[in-house]
Structure 1
């Protein structure tokens, strides 16, 4: 993958991800609705970042690379859904605290996938994995 592509991608994603995701939702002293809105914003920002990474990679990869990325993403989506079902079941009777845990996990799970794809797509320029 060309270095220019990755540099442009990371620069654009830095602005997107740090504008909302840097906000710490759980440390807010506001009401439950405000905290849930914060978690929702974190999820939306992470999802947007993931979609940008995926779209840009699909434009740049070979046809074999595109096929493997698509298969990998489909497998991850199944993992994501199963993980969310599990954490929802575990926290089913814990009230708003459980809802906070679930929403935080949802945003963190998507952010982690974005980090994984950035790492994978960095090729030989990848440093140590961070997630």
Structure 2
């Protein structure tokens, strides 16, 4: 019986985390599980990136409506800097992966793009919610 306890706990924790997964990430997982081509998987990443970008913009708009004065100015400046960083990072990443991975580069860059935008959307959400101390908070 004791041998099965760690396995049971892993299954329960895996189920709990799947229940808390964002719908955008759930759709990405479903899409990736269906696709078997590089082109198809790239489209999955593109769709998820666009969905996270939309969520990021919703969170940014909400935060900008809420803030005034210096905090609002600083957030605007930070978001502009982040956009420049994202574009620069993806350009550098694309250059590196194209030289080292060939056709698989699109998947690596796609995954990074989704991750970057998801993280920024969650950071903006933390401003709106006031906390992201726990993964479930955001």
Q: TM-score, normalised by structure 1?
A: 0.74
Indicate yes or no: 2:115 matched with 1:108. Answer: yes
Q: Provide runs of 4+ in structure 1 moved above 4 Å.
A: 25-29
RMSD: 2.1
Contact 2:97 2:109 in 1 (8 A): yes
Larger Rg: 2
What is the Cα deviation at residue 72 of structure 1? Answer: 0.8
Match of 1:128 in 2: 133
1:36 corresponds, among 31, 42, 47, to 42
Question: Which ranges in structure 2 are unaligned for 5 or more consecutive residues?
Answer: 1-21
Q: Which structure carries more helix by proportion? A: 2
SS at match of 1:92: helix
Q: TM-score, normalised by structure 2?
A: 0.71
Query: Number of residues paired by the alignment?
Result: 112
What is the Cα deviation at residue 32 of structure 1? Answer: 2.1
2:63 corresponds, among 57, 61, 66, to 57
CA shift digits 1:21-44 (9 cap, x unpaired): 322255444222211111111101
Match of 2:72 in 1: 66
CA distance in 2, matches of 1:58, 1:100: 33
1:90 corresponds, among 96, 101, 108, to 96
CA distance in 1, matches of 2:51, 2:118: 9
Match of 1:79 in 2: 85
What is the Cα deviation at residue 70 of structure 1? Answer: 0.3
What is the Cα deviation at residue 71 of structure 1? Answer: 0.6
